[in-house]
A and B are shown apart, each in its own frame.
Chain A
Amino acid sequence: MPSAVSGQSLDSKTLLLKTAVGEGGGQLQWLRMLPTVWGPGGSVISGLCCRDCFKAFYIHKFRAMLGKNRLIFPGEKVLLAWSGGPSSSSMVRQVLEGLSQDSAKRLRFVPGVIFIDEGAACGRSPEERAKTLAEVKPILQAIGFPWHVVALEEVFSLPPSVLRCSSQEPAAPDGAYKAAVDNFLQQQHVLGAGGGPGLAHGEEPLPQPRAQSAWDLQSLVRPPAAAQTEALSHLFCSVRTLTAKEELLQTLRVHLILHVARAHGYSKVMTGDSCTRLAIKLMTNLALGRGAFLAWDTGFSDERHGDVVVVRPMREHTLKEVAFYNRLFSVPSVFTPAVDTKAPEKASIHRLMEAFILRLQIQFPSTVSTVYRTSEKLAKAPRDGPAAGTCGPRCLLCMCTLDVDTADSATAFGVQTASHLSQIQSPTPLTETGTPQGLCCSPGGASRREDPQACIAEQLCYGCRVNMKDLPSLEPLPPYILAEAQLRTQRAWVLAELRDCLIEDSEDEVGQS
């Protein structure tokens, strides 16, 4: 049975139920059977719904999600992460429509679109990748926003600064949003009175997007260097399990999008994760040991990177609704195979969880919505501790505050017993594998006796550590990760050396990022 989650097209018969309505002048009307549609206020509307009402509900949900969170200020540059799949395509369409409405209800930000070509990680040949890009290009041009097509190989030219969390802007006070909107509307009014119809939008003047597209067109024509493609496929082939591969792919993708956003001045990134996807992601992350970070991974806004905030406006739309909408209103999407396409169910934790949740959903139809509602109750703070802030070191890869702390917590013990084996095997004793905040590397880069893998593991959160275990050697990793890891290790060593002399008045170290 074709599954919606892999982005394949749905059989039309399963979607629509067409009946002829006799009354009302003998008009044919489409009646939809929608299993779970949430109306305004979160009420469940199950059963029949006509096409226009469905569209109204769908759009309303999108707008309400953006509106009630009040995170996107007028005039802000927002990068739409488009994967080609149904959810992100739907999101792009929503933004497109939202920007073109009349002035009262129009969305007020400045969008751009990014598409990442992950063909090298999935083992696709250059011809296949070129074919996909040929399908992607017309859609991007039709959308009309400034677009960026980036190959995943570019991670090999990323700077280490990607992994550093920029200082967070203080949260704007409540009145600031309203004030900003009023200000913006006033400006528009003035512009609209003086300028021509082209400028009434309040967006950047038209020539600029064109020029940007031309630049990207050139980068589109020029394929990535063969050496980089080789390096990327070598990296992904060296990962032992599909679970770790998927996690690595996700990490690299996030870093790449972050870099592009920062380079072009985008302060927000929108991803098209739907409700179903997020429920699956939540359960998957639980199983991967990322329970401490669920609120960031699945919440509406993810501000762990500091200056760029990731936003998930589609999080209340179930995948079924997205599929219906795309079908009814002809939203174009491109199917790109991912690392786990056609993988058997047992191949990775992600696949297992996806299959499990979808199966359970058949028996208990409120499973996805229950998991989603529970995710809304998660708080962005460590369980028993000070409120979330910049305290404590951050994970090298996922940039969350490290969650492996006290040596006598449950799983620290478990980790110790598991690493007993590596301790017995390796000739040089790994001193503080169980107490993560300790140092492990002796000074100097040349005479490093200890295992570099242990050095990097020190800087990772629990979930990333478990993933790293499936990576036998660190060399294929992109240079920015290795450089940053080395920098942090040396910094930590220097601090330890100077600890006696430094006067510290708080727990927050000066040099820690």
Chain B
Amino acid sequence: MPAPPCTSCHAARAALRRPRSGQALCGACFCTAFEAEVLHTVLTGRLLPPGAVVAVGASGGKDSTVLAHVLRELVPRLGISLQLVAVDEGIGGYRDAALAAVRRQAARWELPLTVVAYEDLFGGWTMDAVARSTAGSGRSRSCCTFCGVLRRRALEEGARRVGATHIVTGHNADDMAETVLMNFLRGDAGRLARGGGLGSPGEGGALPRCRPLQFASQKEVVLYAHFRRLDYFSEECVYAPEAFRGHARDLLKRLEAARPSAVLDLVHSAERLALAASARPPRPGSCSRCGALASRALCQACALLDGLNRGRPRLAIGKGRRGLDEEATPGTPRDPAQTPTPKAVPTF
């Protein structure tokens, strides 16, 4: 059965059906539509004003590759300038290959690239070292908790180094949907209250962050990368199987099979969640150690690093964070047996 003609230009043969609407389009029209939608998101949300220096968090994966490519196409329309910032978490066998992909992209697109490494920023702690430190005791290693927090700090640092005014990341609609599911399953009322919007406006000295691909579904991102023949790194992180997000991702796949609009419905729900005033996070202040945005005395990055340095990596994870107000004594011998006593509630 021959392919139907494209419903947009009526000239070429349709090459795909858009996952959400089932509309048949040819490759070129789809890419144009995709770029138009991203532009619409940026313009209606007033995310990137003209003259902004935008730091793109580039990981070499499909989302950030597509994001960088689309923004590059839209640069004349938006009047912004782009900088690529890549973060090296120090995950052997994974991050090095991804960084190679980023370097190739930067060369091809002629965009300046800055690489920030955990090793330099966080006192020698790479993700592999963190994983070794948190291993044992039969519970999950919570690598993703560390990596996520530290990466945001690293991205902020990298953006500052290049003089950026905004940070953009490639989170897509599926990521947002997974996040809201995950937050409910783990009871993270603080994140639920904060999330669902279009990014953060940048309070307390932190750079404003946004996600232009927020309403594009993952399938469309992959389709776009396919039709534009973009070169990206597509393997999964070594620590990904341990992540809780895997459950949410699995659920989302099934939900999408049962109802194709499930992702959009979840994003809609997330936007409209209303939490009681007592559950919302307090107004953020600044960290006493590094001055970054923090809702407690210490920002989460400093708290996590503190725990790592003291040989008690789970110190800042989960409920009942003890010992954060103890002064850190550098040079204390690390005692791996000194993990805090497990409470009745399993920590996530």
Contacts and interface: CB of A to CB of B under 8 A. Distances in A.
Contacts of A295: 274
Interface in A342-381: 346-349, 352-353, 356, 360, 364-367, 370-371, 373-374, 377-381
Nearest to A419: B21
Could you tell me the dominant secondary structure of chain B's interface residues?
helix
B41 A349 contact: no
A145 to B, nearest CB: 36
B140 to A, nearest CB: 10
Interface stretch (B58-66, B103-111, B256-264, B320-328): B256-264
A373 B250 CA distance: 24
Contacts of A241: 258-259
A202 to B, nearest CB: 37
Interface string B19-30: 011110000000
Given A370-B185, A414-B215, A291 B273 contact: yes
A283 B177 CA distance: 12
A408 B44 contact: yes
A471 B82 CA distance: 47
A295 to B, nearest CB: 7
Contact of A288 (B21, B184, B265, B271): B265
Contact of B272 (A352, A364, A382): A382
Contacts of B145: none
Contacts of A382: 272, 274
A349 B273 CA distance: 20
A4 interface: no
A39 interface: no
Contact of B262 (A349, A380, A411): A349
A149 to B, nearest CB: 34
Contacts of B265: 287-289, 411, 462-463, 466
B255 interface: yes
Given A377-B275, A377-B278, A421-B21, A243 B259 contact: yes
Interface in B81-96: none
A215 interface: no
A115 B287 CA distance: 59
B346 A366 contact: yes
B131 interface: no
A409 B346 CA distance: 37
Contacts of A410: 198, 214-215, 267-268, 271
Contacts of A373: 187
Most chain B CB within a 10 A radius of its CB, from A295, A370, A371, A410: A410
B266 A352 contact: no
B274 A381 contact: yes
A378 B187 CA distance: 12
Contacts of A462: 265, 268
A44 B276 contact: no
Interface in A406-434: 408-411, 413-415, 417-421, 424
A366 B345 contact: yes
Interface in B152-204: 180-181, 184-189, 192, 198
A292 B274 contact: yes
B270 A291 contact: yes
A374 B183 CA distance: 9
Given A371-B185, A417-B20, A287 B262 contact: yes
Interface in A120-176: none
A292 B269 contact: yes
Q: Which 5 A-B pairs have the closest CB atoms?
A: A291-B269, A289-B265, A292-B272, A377-B279, A370-B187
Given A421-B7, A424-B7, 6 more contacts: A290-B269, A352-B251, A410-B198, A411-B215, A413-B44, A419-B21
